[in-house]
Structure 1
């Protein structure tokens, strides 16, 4: 069980999540932590911990190990069907590491190596490699193109790391990379369209209602009822066990009586965002969900008002620019959101700027920034980890619900 951890998505050629790379705060350079059983029990009892299934859901986990752990203390509890073992260092530099890698392969694990210099095919470990990770910021594309064929010929899968824009993603995909790590999918993609299509206006109106301090049931019902697909999705979604485990909801009025105004506002904002981004990678929606719950928990901890649920909404909408491929100012001109939400999304709220810096720190395993923001917000850093873990668990459940209603289109190579 783990309490202090970050994860970074690894996407396939269709921009679907293939795996998450896990980065451990207690391990050197993010490697699997070497924690004795007493400390592990203490962490599990004191903090909101996660297991690998909670962190990565149904996806694989890439976990980096240092040489000593691989040679003498490799954890026997890990599942070779779901965990990819990543080397933390060159196997030539550590006696016994090559033998350890051969043993790990015999156990059924896939082996990944991080090698920006495009390892020689004559290397002793070459036959053991299943996955090669290449930092595309440290190797020129012409060098990568020259070296790639021998890996493809050996059926070694290739992961492009540090892919931060859509242009690099396209280049790496054309070169033959199988997987892509980086936040290119969470940045706006240049497109000609600058206005939201008329078909999305119902969603825009719902987003506005979610940020209002008033709750107009008749108005919301009117918006939902004039869109048969949206009305169907609302009832199907709200009756999913992840959202509602106790009662069968038959109408928006019934939902209001059961959930209350604040939760309904969160729900219609969530449903609107998922519908608005139905042509985007699901991981982008997933990141928005984690942020929504994390900001909501932070806002509660800080004693902010919760009607409307401003923390939830700001976190949920924080990636609207990437979702709609427009700058945030251009997006907000088209949405009837409240002034408080707009101010925060434009980076003009000191309170929520702390939240944004903090969530980026968790997403990128920038632990020093977590410490700084802990002090700024006057919340214990270990408690912040617990809140973020809660957000991951909640978002995983909601993501599974969303994915069955919003299948993503296949992106052709």
Structure 2
């Protein structure tokens, strides 16, 4: 592991309650700044559990949580993310899910005693990652003679101020500049003297306690049940149609919410917002959808969110969709379903609905119904809620507003209940 990961020793772990609940993505970030203390990027550390081993799986989970659950905007904004990697994780499919412009992969040197053949074998992976647009960072161990072939691959070389004597700073910086085009980062900078020494040598980027200690960013997660994710994986593996995949997404509000939030994160690199399940599936394609579902499975819990909440949300969405079919164009019926399903995100996430909706892209008409009780979907939502509560006055008022008969509404409600019930039996 690169020396930068030693910074984790003093990073606070997640609170026991959050860790026990299993519903918090807890990520520590430490700023990498320029000489004027403007933030260039953040190095991220997974703190969801205390001091777990650094593995390929944990690399994937950290990146996945940072870009999905954490909400990349809240975590890093438009800045660069530095992620420590094992050599195994560099070949991982999770890297296919992110836009390479957003991420710097921090790569450790190999364990002592590594053969020249093992060192040379890494070059093919590095070359492929660079071709795909990823930038690589190494620590000062890469400046040792056995790793001479790695040095030209570096976009960043991190010099650990605790790992060499002050008088070696100049030669190390000069050597790195002579044999690479890498930007040098002075890390573990803890004093003004260390900062000034490296700044005088022309170093432009800094990381360490003298600038900022790592801080925690906690994000509420909403995790689908493993059973539903496995259904999605199986559907993708047998190359199910877009319509079949969309149907599964519509059955589980937690699954669809995660997909829309992920595909619209800055890490995915799209220039436009994706607001429909079908569009999301088409944009991702089966290969990336499989990668996403597999990663989601590794970070999910056996139970998922409370079943009753998810079932009620699905019934509400299906009821609104069936009622909309009587009155609205087909594309609006899809959005009616989304309104119903996402109208219970506040309960699922344990946060105000407006805050929950900040992390997912939705059409304005959907947001108007959910947050402002207005627009074409508002009376459908009010009617669906009246069906659940048994409020006869509200039922009569909203059914009349939509010019729907009691029979039409009751029949649609029964169909929605039966549909939701059939999903649970798969």
TM range (shorter): 0.3 to 0.5
Provide TM-score, normalisation by structure 2: 0.38
Give the TM-score taking structure 1 as reference length.
0.39
